[in-house]
Amino acid sequence: MWQFEHKAALKGYRLIAGVDEAGRGPLAGPVVSAAVIFPENFILKGPLALINDSKKLSEKKRLTLFPLIKKQAVAVSVGIVDNRQIDQINILQAALLSMKQAVESLDTVPDLLLIDGKFTIDSAIDQHAIIKGDSKSASIAAASIIAKVTRDEIMADLHRQYPVYNFIQHKGYPTRAHKQAILDHGPCPVHRSSFKGVKEVAGGK
């Protein structure tokens, strides 16, 4: 999980930020990205040894790791782009924008970005896009956990505002129950009106 960080260190990079997003697929809510910088030569031990792609971890493990990552990292930040802007610029551009926001919100400026996926972001900082990076880089995996937990908390808040959609259960993803709730009640203000499964219903309401 440190292969990319070690290679970067050999090239002279010292402050390496892992960057990842959560929430590209849901029909509702924001896309959330996070950036995490670990100290040089940091070793994942104890509970932190569990750090991996957030999708491979249980909610309990993510919630355990979340405060530990924030405590041990040099810097942690998030970027959030809401459903309205997603509809305006499309989900890919919104995800990249949230990553840019996360990087620009770091209180320590990194000299290299390791970004999950195949796209880089609009930044003057050196960067390297890594496909499935959340399974290959500890820094990216840590960012994926921060982003996922942060987004889940947002969806829990939205559940309290719009309980008929049961966001607490599916976090806005297109489950059968969620799509049925949209059919039954119509979209709410946090649904992504440009997404299939929402726009068809919105057009008929």
Q: Where are the domains of the chain?
A: 3-160
Q: Is 36 helix (H, G, I), strand (E, B) or coil?
A: strand
Domain 3-160: assigned CATH number: 3.30.420.10
pLDDT at 203: 64
pTM of the predicted model as reported, rounded to 2 decimal places: 0.95
Q: Which two tokens stand for residue 62?
A: 């993510």
Rounded Cα–Cα distance for residues 134 and 55 (Å) = 9
Beta pairing class for 112-116 and 75-81:
unpaired
| Alpha-carbon gap, residue 83 to 163, rounded angstroms | 18
Q: How far apart are CA 66 and CA 54, in angstroms?
A: 11
Which two structure tokens, joined as six digits, stand for 196?
């299939």
- Phi and psi at 199, nearest 5°, equal -65, -35
| Per-residue pLDDT tens digits of the chain, which is 205 residues long | 899 999 999 999 999 999 999 999 999 999 999 999 999 988 888 889 989 999 999 999 999 999 999 999 999 999 999 999 999 999 999 999 999 999 999 999 999 999 999 999 999 999 999 999 999 999 999 999 999 999 999 999 999 999 999 999 999 999 999 999 999 999 999 999 999 989 988 765 4
Instruction: Tell me how far apart the alpha carbons of residues 150 and 193 are, in angstroms, rounded to a whole number.
Output: 23
Q: H or E segment at 181?
A: helix 176-185
Which residue type occupies 108? T
Phi-psi region of 117 (alpha: psi -120 to 50; beta: other; left: phi over 0): left
Edge-first strand order for the sheet with 75-81 is 75-81, 31-37, 16-22, 112-116, 127-130
